[in-house]
A and B are shown apart, each in its own frame.
Chain A
Amino acid sequence: MAIFPPEKRIWWKEPLHGFELVWIGICLVWAIVMFGTMIVWHVIGEQNLSNTAYRIDPDVFAARTEAMVTQYTVREEGDTGIPVVHPPAGSDVYLQASLWQWYPILELEKDKEYRLHLSSIDWQHGFSLQPTNINVQVHPGYEMVITLKPNKAGEFGIVCNEFCGIGHHNMLGRIYVVE
């Protein structure tokens, strides 16, 4: 038996053990590395989401999309009646999400940059470009402008990956990338 009973200690006055201290140090350094990586990627990385977005009236957005379609439609997709639009490289391109369609079909040129304007005219939708795997949220009333450079030719699907009601799984669009 000790002569004095053990004192009831208060937790924040306890000593720190070296072993735990080392681990905490490693964790903190790792947290800083991960923090720094995001910033560094903004400088050296090629995949950074755009910070350009505007509030927009859905009717205005629909009108701009329609204007692009009228100007640059090159054909219709099979018997679906959906226009395929081939805007000039470097131009402003509109993609409109609605229940349950991505409109129109875009035809882009490989390794050329485009300013892609994304918005919805009704509910939220999810722009999921496959198989390259780029996923961006699409809101009604907000227009996001992404500068995009397709680096592979081929046929790409745009899946809607934000649940948008009963026709959600039929909401499938397309982007052609040509040489």
Chain B
Amino acid sequence: MADATLFRTCPDTGLPVHLPAQRLIKANAVAGVLALALGGLQGLMVALTRWPDLQLLPAEAFYTMLTGHGLNVLLFWIIFFEVAILYFASAILLKSRLAAPNLAWVGFVLMAVGALTTNYAVFQGDSSVMFTSYVPMRASPLFYLGIILFAVGALIGCFIFFATLVIAKDEKTYEGSIPLVTFGALTAAIIAVFTIASGAIILIPTLLWSLDLIPEIDPLLYKVIWWAMGHSSQQINVSAHVAVWYCIAAMVLGAKPLSEKVSRMAFLMYILFLQIASAHHLLVEPGISSNWKIFNTSYALYLAVVGSMIHGLSVPGAVEAAQRRRGFTRGAFEWLRKAPWGNPAFAGMFTSLVYFGFLGGISGVVMGAEQLNLIMHNTLYVPGHFHATVVAGTTLAFMAITYLVVPLIWRREIMFPTLAKWQPYIFGLGAAGISLFMMGAGTLGVSRRHWDINFTDAALSFSYPDTAFLMMALNGLSGLLAAIGGVMFVVIVVSSILFGKKRGDDAAETNPVIGVGGGQAVASYGSEGTLKLPGTMILVGVFFIAFFLYYWVNWKYLSEVWPLS
């Protein structure tokens, strides 16, 4: 049985909080934010280098910086934060003790050591192979070793999560089904196990190869397995940030999902249909047949996309229903106008939802059509797409929930509230900007991972259209804006944690961060009752029309390039 002295009762939500779990959540979140700070800075340097009139860094430093950027933000920031979410969604939301906290610390240390090792290898300058590390390009063994250690640590985090679910069930800390947010986290954790297994299958041999213990690794085979990890890990992010959307909507507005059945089915679709979705990273490789590509991108990718489109209805629907319950019933959109836009948790959540759907979702599906990929593969369109998903989507959602985690878990008030109010908008706008402008440049053919689109030192010459140069300048400016938003976030969070006013037990009344019924809504099972949602219907209608039109426009573009077969 759980030892009662290891718990405190949260004055805001009424939930019992397991103190060892709380310490682990803090450690993982802090490590994540540090990785984001470093990686974000590297992103800014990269964006300013790709601004042709500035070209901040020399070539070699640029490629090193880009490698570091991808690793620090995509792997280390996101996954540290996700481990914190797993512990929160299991121990806290299920009112349980966390399984084996000491082992969880071992996992944390492995992850930290791994992240430091890989960063060390990258900063040595002999491992500028990008985070994808396609063979036969070779990094130093430490590069692969660090990633493997990090992954083992993350795997331990997943098993701690599963074990906590088992404990909570055994000790009957909850009744009926687990809460939706925990269910979403469970989806993420299951996918993570598959992801890490694929990672091990490919990275361990690659490590041995870098030590000359294995003579050769087939470059195509490498990619097929690497993307089984690389793509699934993006599905972890989606599951995690959708869970975070539901979580914020529940905590801030007391929102419940429209239907537990539909939302959970949508999460399940992520697990069922992702396995070989890595196919859409391999659409223009030699030696892979069209049948395989079409089958795997469509059944796997599209059904996972359907899952996301379902969440795209039920998340705003839950917000609308909750707002209508609270009395904002006039017209189609009073609920949206009168939403708490000054609350950075809500603002970040809702903008993340919009950017993810409109920018990231649509572009991803378009790029994943077998033939359309021909006009996009490895152009800047690709980073444009995933900055919409993983920066404007995932990162913004994680930032948003941090505004709840600091008062609830750290028991500190957020410092600089005015700055905090603006932060999600500034970061979101910057992130949306880099997405859009990189997609724009990519549509004009500009290559990703490229230091000099003027080709100054090349033997031959070629010029991209002038508009492409404009896009790259606007991308640099947006990068600056995103970086300002990122710095604001780090400053607010770090200073609140260190120097924020201690949150007293009466703060739940004087300065509530949780809406009426929020603690109950997030930690229990239950669907929304009434379903009159004209606003949400209009929103998804607009989304569908945008999706539809943009999809066909791209087939039009494709039909104009040189015929090939």
Contacts and interface: CB of A to CB of B under 8 A. Distances in A.
Answer whether A and B are interacting partners: yes
Interface of A: 8-17, 19-20, 23-24, 26-28, 30-31, 34-35, 37-39, 41-42, 45-51, 53, 55, 77, 80, 82, 101, 105, 118, 122-124, 126, 128-144, 146-152, 157, 159-166, 168-174
Contacts of B461: 172
B558 A47 contact: yes
Interface of B is mostly: loop
Contact of B371 (A12, A30, A47, A136): A47
Q: Which 10 A-B residue pairings sit nearest by Cβ, starting from the closest?
A: A157-B462, A8-B176, A144-B286, A161-B447, A53-B286, A31-B302, A46-B563, A14-B261, A35-B298, A161-B378
Contacts, number: 263
Interface string B298-332: 11001101100110011000000000000000000
Interface stretch (B7-15, B22-30, B422-430, B525-533): B525-533
B137 interface: yes
Interface string B280-302: 00011111011000100111001
Contacts of B264: 11-12
A14 B527 contact: yes
B286 A135 contact: no
Contact of A122 (B63, B128, B136): B136
A129 B369 CA distance: 20
Nearest to A36: B298
B334 interface: no
B175 A8 contact: yes
Contact of A37 (B448, B525, B555): B555
A11 B260 contact: yes
B82 interface: no
A95 B448 CA distance: 22
A128 B379 contact: yes
B550 interface: no
B564 A134 contact: yes
A38 B297 CA distance: 10
A17 B219 contact: no
B374 interface: yes
Interface stretch (B93-101, B230-238, B450-458, B509-517): B450-458
B369 A50 contact: no
A137 B297 CA distance: 18
Given A14-B527, A130-B462, A169 B375 contact: no
A139 B285 contact: yes
Contact of B258 (A20, A34, A133): A20
B271 to A, nearest CB: 15
A175 B448 CA distance: 21
A174 B557 CA distance: 22
Interface of A is mostly: mixed
B518 to A, nearest CB: 20
Given A136-B284, A140-B136, A168-B451, A11 B565 contact: no
A8 B525 contact: yes
Nearest to B443: A133
A148 B379 CA distance: 21
A135 B313 contact: no
A47 B561 contact: yes
A169 B60 contact: no
A130 B464 contact: yes
Contact of A17 (B218, B258, B286): B258
Contacts of B445: 128, 130-131, 133, 159
26 contacts: A9-B177, A11-B177, A20-B258, A23-B313, A28-B306, A31-B306, A34-B551, A42-B290, A47-B371, A48-B290, A48-B564, A123-B136, A124-B137, A132-B562, A134-B562, A135-B377, A137-B285, A138-B286, A161-B448, A161-B449, A162-B449, A163-B450, A164-B137, A165-B137, A170-B452, A172-B455
A96 B465 CA distance: 26
A37 to B, nearest CB: 7
A92 B395 CA distance: 49
Given A133-B561, A162-B378, 15 more contacts: A8-B176, A20-B258, A27-B306, A34-B369, A47-B374, A47-B563, A82-B459, A126-B378, A130-B445, A133-B445, A147-B565, A148-B563, A148-B564, A159-B450, A164-B137
A34 B458 CA distance: 41
Contacts of B452: 169-170
Contacts of B557: 133
